[in-house]
Structure 1
Amino acid sequence: MAERFASYVTDRETGDIQPREEFSDDILLLHIPVPIEIESYRLHDHLNIDQDALTRTIIPDDSSVANVVDEYGGVDQMIRSAREDPALYIEVTSVEDKPYKQQDGEYSLGTAVFSRSESRDGRDIYGTLREPEVGDLVFHVLKDKRQIRGISTVTSTLQTDFEGPPDDSWDDGARGDGYYLPLGDYREFADPADIDNDLLQNDDYRERLTDILETHSGLFYDQNFELAHGAYFTECPLDLLYLFIAEEPAIMSVASQAHWSVPIPSASDSYDSVSEAVVDVRTRLPFSDTGREWFRNILTRTILEAFTESLSSVQPNAELTETEATHCELIRRLYTDQEQKFENAAEELGVGQTNQASEAETLFFVLFRELQADFGFSTNMSQVKARTILNENYEIEVADIQRPPEEGRGPLEKAEKPDQADDIARQLTATGQMVFYGPPGTGKTYTAQRFARWWLHQQDSVDPHTGQLETVTFHPSFTYEDFIEGLSAETTDDGSVKYDEESGVFLEVATRAQQDFHSAADDEEPRRYVLIIDEINRGNLAQIFGETITGLEKDKRLGGENETKLSLAHSGESFTIPPNLYVIGTMNTADRSIALVDAALRRRFRFLSFPPQLELLRAHFDLGDWESVKHHATTDTSDSQLIAQSIIAIRVLNKRIRNEPDLGRGKQIGHSFLFGAEDEQEIVDVWRFEILPLLEEYLFGQYERIRESLFQGEGDLLFDWDREEIKPFSSQELSDTLAVFVEEFEPETAPDEE
């Protein structure tokens, strides 16, 4: 078309002004929103059209035409390849084991997609390659690099006589009949998204990815959120594209350059969870100028404004407020955490020294001043202030902390040493805080309490008192004021309102621990304090912990190598977390809010898993091994029949729960539900009021799934399936239902699942 197009315009005589039909057909290709440039005066007379009809047009020269032909096969193919609503596909491939797919290889990434026309056993598993049209787009996912590496455009129709790649991976029977789809205009992303951490294994996206799986087939990932086996070339639905764009905003630049119109996600009225809100907003940001950079700018402005204000008080040996000192510490860390980078940059730029400031320090304070100037703030950072901050050459106003009264503290009851006590003690000693996590009913809180009462008694010459152990339960309404420090209002005699700071539970126990730390002799371990936070993941952790999150780290505690003083939000008083305060959190993995645990908190806690341990129930009820348990469960005369049936039923249910993609290990049934159920009525009550409601919660509103996936079509004696509710039932009805689970159970497989 290129040669024909040029000849029509440049070679035809002026008098030959009748446009030929095939030329008009070619021009009809220009309905797409692509700026095709041809000098208008060369076409006006030939096309017999108005002078204003063509603008911004030029005839491509020979080299331009040749480049287009090389890339697309012709000008017509180039025009067709730019489409407003292209279909999207995903190629999953690797390059490390395929030299011909590497850069400068014969079939380098983004130049073509090819495959056999059928599998070795004759199945049509590559049929998706027959679907793309010219102008459709292909994402390239590298399974060896675990990246979304780039995107390219389909530039020609499918060839069905491909000889195959230049290696021995194809047998002779496949060669000559292969599929070959030419690609072009390959654009590699500068910072490729990680296909696992950023997308498939990102907890925020788990629900959205599951929804996409349920509404589309043949995707590039499976129900375990791994790359699907055999999914070489697949469609990319619009909802999946939104997630790609959220993690790789550069896709929007590609869309703009290709005049590809990506529809904006439809508006949302409300969200059921923080995770849902995060995903939805994240997918919208690339469609607006009000994106991440906008927020980064206002956040930077706010922080820099506070830093600039505090810098006005900084000079050698100055006495700073807690707030000013905190800002100086953050500025110091900004330099020290990246000191090597500043040194490398200063050397590369050839930066010199300024008085006592080194080359790197000079670069630091100059860049700080430049940032202040960019935002219109006073450029008050200097080499003197920088050196003062970096050398911490200033004093801090410190408030006195009074020792709390001793009344009301009795002796702490001792507990037996729990399992894993040595592991827990070692991790707590190393980090200062842990989280016990697992499904409901696995003994997390019980073990935390039992461990604390045992461990606090292990100190020589210490008689633990009740003030050394505190327990608090987080919930969505729990706040910083409840946990660290709040304000209490009191009406005075003259009717005015007086506000006083009031310590939260963490500050109270930390203050007691701090006082014991200071009163301990140099050669003795200070008295230990333990704070247990039950259901730690149900609260807004970043808001609840506030500034204390930084001070939790072992080296930043009182007396640590990098001791960090914290400024309390309401009183402004200085506070440092003592090293003899230990925090144990419990986390229910069945709660969807597990995904919302703050990343900063994850880094500072060590995690210990609490899976179901049904062998503890076997031992507790003296049932012996699994063969013996099944014997009791199938013997009508056994006094232990119902408890044995219950243990086996939980075992089988847990296996089914693990196999459900939206349930999994985190939502199994724990062993502790049945502890203490000593007679049949108590066992019935546990099932009716605890275990079955838990299953209802897991599959809320999905009674059909409870019946088919968990009870395999049974359970009519326990559930009213029509009314979607749990029935009252007798011990015999429970036994008859659980007997079905017992029939399925194979004792020889149980140890492998434990």
Structure 2
Amino acid sequence: MNTPVYFALGTMQAPNGQLVDMTADFLAKGYWSHDHDGKVDVEKRVRSIPVGAMVALKSSFVSGKKGHKVGMLRIKGLGTVTHNPGDGMRVEVQWQPDVKPFELPVGYRHTISRVNSSENVQAIFHGKPLPVKNQQTTVTPDKPQTEEIVHPLNQILYGPPGTGKTHATMAWTIALLEGREFAEVVDAYDDKRQELLALVDDYRQRGQVEFVTFHQSFSYEDFVEGIKPEPASNGQLNYAVADGVFKRLAREARKIWQAQQDGKADSAPLVAEDTFDESYAAYLDSLSQQLQKGQRPRLNTRQGHPADVLKVDADGTLILEHVNSAQMKHRIGREWIRGIYAKYDQPDDIQQVYRELRLLGGPNVSLQWAIFKGLKDFEAARRPATPNAEAAEIAPLSKLAGEAPRYVLIVDEINRGNVANIFGELITLLEEDKRVGGENELTLTLPYSKTGFKVPPNLYLLGTMNTADRSVEALDTALRRRFGFVEMLPQPELLDPLGEPTDAQHLDLSKLLRVINERLEYLLDRDHQLGHAWLLEVTDLDDLRRVFRNKVIPQLQEYFHGRWGRIGQVLGADFVEVKTSTVQLMPGFDDDLDGGEERSVYHIPLDKDWSEEAFRRIYQTT
């Protein structure tokens, strides 16, 4: 028996440019349709509605006082789908007779929304009351996933301000982490924005999500690695290599990926060089932390003689002294330990320390052995009890059987930084075939730590960019080749009107935004439009005035760089006042303008209480 599915379907359309409630026509003729012809994502959702699905006719709005607003749903009809022709435009429905309209405090603002919450299903389709404190359950796909959903490893969401890039980023993050379709996540959390944010934060606290914002001062040293000053216990400054956010997350993702691979019989172990670089860097971090606390890490030679670590240099060199003969300090470089690590699995494998290690070269072989022993003890202390135990700790949230848990690095405002400098040589490693396990797997040596670095296949990069600041075409060419791009355009159809169409105070917010954007695209380009997100929570005239004062008009001022006449061409005379001014100027300083001439002076009355008619005049042009 198939699991029943449920959908909430919008009823407001604008066939002749005027918003019309189609409920009566749908109920009388036994069908439902939409007016978003050519909109691929809407048509795809319509085609996905199966015969037998239960559907509800709805309109959504926001209710309540300022600061206590609640998304509401008005249910106008209930029925069962009897036929889906597959054209993406309509379905035939057997509507239940005599369904009295009712309202519920839930959202579902999209034209077509899937209803997954069991509480909402019971309330909308079966007349059960919603719990006082709606205990919403974790949403899972109604059908078991039979084939893998492949997402790009690197992608950027781009579009004008206010187009919902932040919310889409959260939905994409969950889609990437859990291997789900983006549209399915959007529908699942359509009216549960806070639950979506909480889920992303849950992943962040578990270390699978990191956020970073690029800006003009952000550098390679912040993103990958750099030498940073650290206060020492003696009041002086030490300089050590500090990992950036990308290197830290890549290392963690690779460690979990390798732990998962180690649980497979056919998995190949990492080469010794790569294991050494990562392990030794972590070991040096541990030693540095002890030194910062005023402690001297103590090692022991094969003969049991103690030696203290005094300092960790930026290049990974350790400075030590023998406790019993502290007259001389010894410097042991990273490369000498690398040679031992490559040849021996454990310290006990070295039968004759002096003889065998002298063949490898380097100073003070007894201290080399002590460092190697300390490194191996450090590895043993942090190694999980079973090969894939660390992956198992995260796996319950990943929901991807047989695959290593995924990691997501979110880069906000990626176009505001100098991408070529921030990524440096690592831009090449982002390509799928250059990552660990890829056909052309690459290792690059980092400039400060001198360690090898690779990017694992379970690390995803998700960027956002505001096209009003910079267009996609202006991005670094190397970045554009390695990232996929998802355009986020304004969606006026998501906006609910203020008041019913028959009300004198009715305002068609959808048409208002659409007309403004048509003018902006004509005067500027498609990158300089206004997004729908600013108007989503508008419930009355005061809200609309506030959005225009605080967001719309300041954004237009930025777009047109003080060309007030252009703003007037977009909004009209109610929002940009023009008066003629004559001013007497001091003579002798400008031959082109001596004063006395009439000039147009523009003024935007931000303190004016614009009326409904003023806003309607924006889109009711002759």
- TM-score scaled by structure 1? 0.37
Structure in which a larger fraction of residues adopt strand: 2
Structure in which a larger fraction of residues adopt helix: 1
State the structure with bigger RCO (CA 8 A, min sep 6), 1 or 2: 2
* Bigger radius of gyration: 1
